[in-house]
Amino acid sequence: MTEWITWLILGYFILLNGSYLALNLLSVFALHRNNQEKLLDALPQAFTGLEPGISLLVPAYNEEATITASVRSMFQLTYSDFEVVVINDGSRDNTLEVLKREFSLLPFPEAPREGLATKPVRGIYRSMTHPNLRVIDKENGGKADSLNAGINAAHHPLFCGVDADSILSRDSLQRVAKPFLTHPDTVATGGTVRVANGCEVIDGFLTKVGLPTNIWALFQVVEYLRAFLFGRLGWSRLNAMLIISGAFGLFRTDVVIAVGGYRANTIGEDMELVVRMHRMLRQQGKPYRIEFVPEPVCWTEAPEDRKTLKNQRVRWQRGLSESLTSNWGLMFSRNGGTPGWLAFPFMILFEWLGPLVELGGYLFMLYAYAFGLVSWQAFSVFLFMAIGLGILLSVSGLLLEEISFRMYPKFRQLAVLALVVVLENFGYRQLNSWWRLIGLYRWAAQREAKWGEMKRKGVGQPQTPR
């Protein structure tokens, strides 16, 4: 019995790391092609007038200290036709009053479409100083409900949900909208999200890239590199990407309305929407593309304390559980294609059930080795599969970053990241698996979902008491 369990555990880790290595190879080919296309970026860029308009949707809840800087930074984005729609989600502070004062808002008699059900809208305001700014004031309903209200009010064929504390590169809209111009069947795109901790931000824009000094944030820098550069990029090559980060994603407005918009009763509303789009478009037999844009287009602040990071990972795992279990119809469906036959089973086996198998594997192998149930050779193979290949995968993510983007060109920065790549495999990844297991348990036990307090310093923002 012990021998069978040992082989099952070793087989799981071999399959897990082998799958990630395959995604890594796909990412190498995708980045090579992307680097060739980037040669054209050196030429003078001009708008053709054919770019589809974009509605930037900014849900805001109790953001009085940062909302002005966030909105002003969006006006500096380089794109031919876009509007900013701020959705005040029943804030209990002075968010709406600050917006009225700073942008000369006046009530505007506009009736948004009734395509998606939302909490009641109390009023719509238009800026007298910025024609492309509108503010929706509504009763509190959460982020998903706010995005749905913004979609109902959007004037453009594409919309982009943006966190109020996100930092966008000036050319981010140009880059993330490019697939919609080159491939008319594109329905959604997502960009790379980077950790802003340690960077210099002025007037809402990142002016200097740096590394955080906080160890928790440093671990997340490596995580983000690994997840985006060969996780989502690899799946994008197969048109099977199931996740677009809620921090920055671009969608076809009519398609999102047709599939029912964001679901307000889920924690992971961003992933759930993308999985549902795959499921419904596959069922309808419609050709479509969901693409990943590898250029760094969005910077976000990462948690710097253990409690906040734990709350985030528990919430992410619960959101993953809700997204997958509410879309079972995609897996192994007749028209499922690569999303249903590869990506969905992968998410089930390695991301959803992964924490249970991984932690169980560690505990069993440690117990079996301590009591002489397995040989030291078998235990050494297990450590190589669980830790050695984990280091290799992280190193490959760092190499892809260095070869393609060189966001951290200084030798000291690379040395720090190389050290973190090794250290994260001795404690941090196992702790992360434990937090994810808690999220899985809370989903299974149907415990009430809570966001928890998210402590933020406000990267690039004045430290005003809130």
Average pLDDT over residues 101-111: 90
> For a pLDDT cut of 90, what percent of the chain falls above it?
57
217 confidence band (pLDDT: 50, 70, 90): very high
Phi, then psi, of 221 in degrees rounded to 5: -60, -45
340 confidence band (pLDDT: 50, 70, 90): very high
Look at residue 129 and tell me whether its pLDDT is greater than 90: yes
- Alpha helices, DSSP H, located in 136-252: 143-153, 172-182, 215-226, 233-237
Pairing of strands 289-300, 158-162: unpaired
Average pLDDT over residues 39-48: 53
pLDDT of residue 296: 62
Q: What tens digit of pLDDT does each residue of 166-196 get?
A: 888 888 898 899 999 989 999 999 988 889 8
pLDDT of residue 456: 56
pLDDT of residue 307: 94
Q: What tens digit of pLDDT does each residue of 256-311 get?
A: 999 999 998 888 899 999 999 999 999 999 999 999 988 767 888 899 999 999 99
Q: What tens digit of pLDDT does each residue of 350-377 get?
A: 999 999 999 999 999 999 999 888 889 8
Distance of CA 425 to the CA centre of its chain: 22
Look at residue 382 and tell me whether its pLDDT is greater than 60: yes
Look at residue 45 and tell me whether its pLDDT is greater than 70: no
pLDDT of residue 38: 58
pTM of the model: 0.90
Buried b (16+ CB within 10 A) or exposed e, 399-429: ebbeebbeebeeeebbebbeebbeebbeebb
Q: Which one, of 395, 361, 437, 346, lies nearest residue 15 by Cα?
A: 346
Contacts of 325 (CB under 8 A, 6+ apart): none
pLDDT of residue 248: 87
pLDDT of residue 39: 52
Reduced to 3 states, what is the DSSP secondary structure of residue 64?
Answer: coil
Contacts of 135 (CB under 8 A, 6+ apart): 85, 86, 87, 88, 96, 99, 100, 103, 105, 124, 125, 126, 127
The mean pLDDT value of the chain amounts to 87
Contacts of 445 (CB under 8 A, 6+ apart): none
Contacts of 216 (CB under 8 A, 6+ apart): 302, 303, 304, 305, 306, 309
Q: Which one, of 277, 278, 269, 358, lies nearest residue 322 by Cα?
A: 269
Look at residue 464 and tell me whether its pLDDT is greater than 50: no
pLDDT of residue 352: 95
Distance of CA 346 to the CA centre of its chain: 18
Q: What tens digit of pLDDT does each residue of 13-42 get?
A: 999 988 988 888 888 777 766 665 555 555
398 confidence band (pLDDT: 50, 70, 90): confident
Q: Which one, of 288, 283, 284, lies nearest residue 241 by Cα?
A: 288
Q: Cβ–Cβ contacts within 10 Å for residue 181, how many?
A: 13
